[in-house]
Amino acid sequence: MISIILIAPPAAGKGTQSDLLVEKYGFVHISTGDMLREVAKHDEIIREKLNSGNLIDDDVVFSLLKERLLADDCKRGFILDGFPRTVNQAIRYDEMIDELGITSNVVIFLDVDREIALKRIVGRVSCPNCHRVYNDMIEEVMPKVSGKCDDCGSLLVKRSDDNSETFGKRYDEYLKSTAPLIDYYLGKGILNKIDSGLGKDEVFEVIKNIVGDLND
């Protein structure tokens, strides 16, 4: 079983690369945020904490995660999205995968220049009908006709939080709480740094080289 941890600032392409890994290898994409939102549907305490923006206790998160990793669909491998967020969580996760007998723990750091990431966020527009995503500021993913979807012709829309102010807050939060994980995993010798400013296919080729041998 392969554990893949993706560390990335906003707009580094974590979601895109996760989708490609799922399609190529049949891995399971696990979002701890999605897990908590699902539990919140029938757990009032967790629902109130999520709605108020409070952090969920690590004991709860690890209990849910352990249960998820023991499911049959995770036997081939899985990708963790949004976890671990802190060094303390990373240390505890290391202990958990040892307990579960997971021997391959791959950490991939998708590094991207702040200005490139800003363009990806501020210029992002999407089709409300077929959900295809474009970018008004990046030539290779611009729509053929400005403001219209290439596939279905629907008018493209922009998310209200796709702005430079929101991006700046998210990026600063990443630097504060997530970036220290890079030093932690670098010290363990399992960090793989990739320039995510490249095209998605080029980035995925590098990832395949990292994951491929472990998946044989």
Percent of the chain whose pLDDT exceeds 70: 98
* pLDDT tens digits along 173-208: 888 888 899 999 999 999 999 999 888 899 999 999
124 contacts 22 by C-beta, under 8 angstroms: no
Average pLDDT over residues 57-65: 91
Local structure of 43: helix, strand or coil: coil
What is the band of 213 on the pLDDT scale with cuts at 50, 70, 90?
low
Q: How far is CA 165 from CA 26, 161, 212, in A?
A: 37, 9, 39
Average pLDDT over residues 35-56: 84
Distance CA 113, CA 72 (A): 38
Q: How many angstroms separate the first and last alpha carbons of the chain?
A: 11
Q: How far is CA 168 from CA 57, 110, 163, 177, in A?
A: 27, 18, 9, 14
* pLDDT tens digits along 6-27: 998 888 888 889 999 999 999 9
Q: How far is CA 99 from CA 11, 12, 153, in A?
A: 33, 32, 52
Local structure of 185: helix, strand or coil: helix
Distance CA 108, CA 126 (A): 27
Active site residues: 14, 85, 124, 159, 170
Q: Which of 144, 168, 6, 147 is nearest to 78 (CA)?
A: 6
- The pLDDT assigned to 21 comes to 94
* Nearest-10 crossing angle of helices 164-173, 114-122: 140
Indicate the pTM of the whole model: 0.81
Run of H or E including 117: helix 114-122
**The residue count for the chain:** 216
* Tokens describing residue 125: 């527009």
Per-residue pLDDT at 60 exceeds 80 = yes
**Peptide bond before residue 84 is cis, with ω within 30 degrees of 0:** yes
